[in-house]
Structure 1
Amino acid sequence: MQAAKELSATLFSKPWVFIRGVPSLKFLPPEGPPEIAFAGRSNVGKSSLINALVGVNGLARTSNTPGRTQELNYFVPSGYSGDEGDLPPMALVDMPGYGYAKAPKDQVDLWTKLVFDYMRGRSTLKRVYLLIDSRHGLKKNDEGVMDLLDKAAMSYQVVLTKTDKIKAAGVPRLISETLSALKRRPAAYPEVIATSSEKGEGISELRTAIALAITL
């Protein structure tokens, strides 16, 4: 764990940059460094969490409009050419949100296929962090994503977002309830991280978890 903390300090002390938006799988960058992806319902706070992780306000675009992120958005530490032998140590991937009912069905289907095909077929993807809004808890469409991840044997870990929006006493209870729901999930990592991008809570713990995941 100490090694993971030291690695996380190195990874997240560097400036990060956006390198590519991927509207379909044919535009994915070549497989190389380990990737960590963030999944969650529309407006769950993925972009805000990524900005908090890398310490760069506005790097991942945030919006109050659900469904704005429509591509796989790649972020890496800056200073790498992308040439063979000069690849970044890892990449963060902000995936389109799911469960946005007001978008046209054909558009939703395209987003969904892109995300699910990526999660099933990317060998360098080390872990998916499944973001759950603390105000709402696990929903049916979250369970559908977990079904897919379990079937694909894709390691994932639940991250609670926006914990500053609920009473502090409710956070431990929500963590316990979420862990109970994950017990029957074979691909779920048996720890839940509670975060608040606005308050900076849980960010250090998530950074360490990511560093550990890319070294496994």
Structure 2
Amino acid sequence: MEQKNDVIITQARYLASAVRKDQYPAEKKPEFVFIGRSNVGKSSLINSLTRVKNLARVSSQPGKTQTINFYELGAKLPDEEERRSFYLVDLPGYGYAKTSREKRKLWSSFIEEYLKTSEQLQFVCQLIDIRHAPMASDVEMFQWLVRTGIPVLVIATKADKIGKQAREKQVREIQKALGVPDLSVLPYSSLKNEGRSELLDVLRDSLLQ
């Protein structure tokens, strides 16, 4: 059963899609970014976190998200009268083999531009499928974010697909592959909303800083 959380999402709506800086939302707000391999479960996690069904479109076809998608959220934080407003930012999936090299190059250039130039970026949630060891593209992305000085929270998705003991083993696999033995990894199940309270707590702490 999910814990009662003191962060209440009061509003969530799709705001904009962008491939260029001039298409980003004009109003500056804190940004929390989601990135991961194609089909890792980003859309499902966003829908789980916001509790708005189909806010982010879930597709069985990898590589479907081809733009930077901005979602505007409102949240009621404990002991605060004013509601906080911020963006969730869904980046295109990386590492999809059937995407043409030209398109991959284009995508990586506008993703890199966004990550390097956003002044409101708080941290990146990098999603990795808990059932498998991180792939080369996962490791490369993690290392690039660390080198670039962008804070990363690793979220291990699809946690309901394996048992508790297997989860612990896979978390250690992820830590080992990424080269950080004490790395904090958050298992998450969009189906059961497991990990939702913990992720909301991290968002809250960042908003209150």
Q: Tell me which residue corresponds to 2:144.
A: 148
Q: Tell me which residue corresponds to 2:16.
A: 20
Q: Tell me which residue corresponds to 1:46.
A: 42
RMSD, aligned CA: 2.3
Is the 8 Å Cα contact of residues 76 and 88 (structure 1) preserved in structure 2? no
Distance 1:53 1:17 in 2: 13
Is the 8 Å Cα contact of residues 34 and 90 (structure 1) preserved in structure 2? yes
Q: Tell me which residue corresponds to 2:68.
A: 72
Distance 1:191 1:95 in 2: 22
Q: Tell me which residue corresponds to 1:119.
A: 115
Secondary structure in 1 matching 2:164: coil
Q: Tell me which residue corresponds to 2:153.
A: 157
Partner AA of 2:138 in structure 1? D
- Compute the displacement of 1:132 (Å): 0.1
Task: Give the TM-score normalised by the residue count of structure 2.
Answer: 0.87
Distance change in 2, residues 1:88/1:207 (3 Å): closer
Distance 1:39 1:137 in 2: 17
Distance 1:176 1:205 in 2: 19
Partner AA of 1:202 in structure 2? G
Task: Give the TM-score normalised by the residue count of structure 1.
Answer: 0.84
Q: Which moved more, 1:22-31 or 1:164-173?
A: 22-31
Secondary structure in 1 matching 2:32: strand
Distance 2:208 2:138 in 1: 27
Partner AA of 2:125 in structure 1? Y
Q: How many residues align?
A: 199
Partner AA of 1:92 in structure 2? L
Pair 1:212 & 2:196 matched = no
Is the 8 Å Cα contact of residues 142 and 178 (structure 2) preserved in structure 1? no
Distance change in 2, residues 1:114/1:199 (3 Å): same
Q: Which moved more, 1:27-36 or 1:150-159?
A: 27-36
Pair 1:202 & 2:198 matched = no
Q: Which moved more, 1:154-163 or 1:24-33?
A: 24-33
Distance 2:33 2:208 in 1: 15
Q: What stretches of structure 2 of length at least 5 have no aligned partner? A: 75-82
Which of 161, 168, 189 in structure 1 is aligned with 2:164? 168
- Compute the displacement of 1:164 (Å): 1.4
Deviation track 1:52-89 (CA, whole Å, cap 9, x = no partner) reads 000001000110000000111111136xxxxxxxx962
Distance 2:204 2:106 in 1: 31
Q: Tell me which residue corresponds to 1:99.
A: 95
Q: Percent of aligned pairs with the same residue?
A: 35
Distance 2:61 2:160 in 1: 21
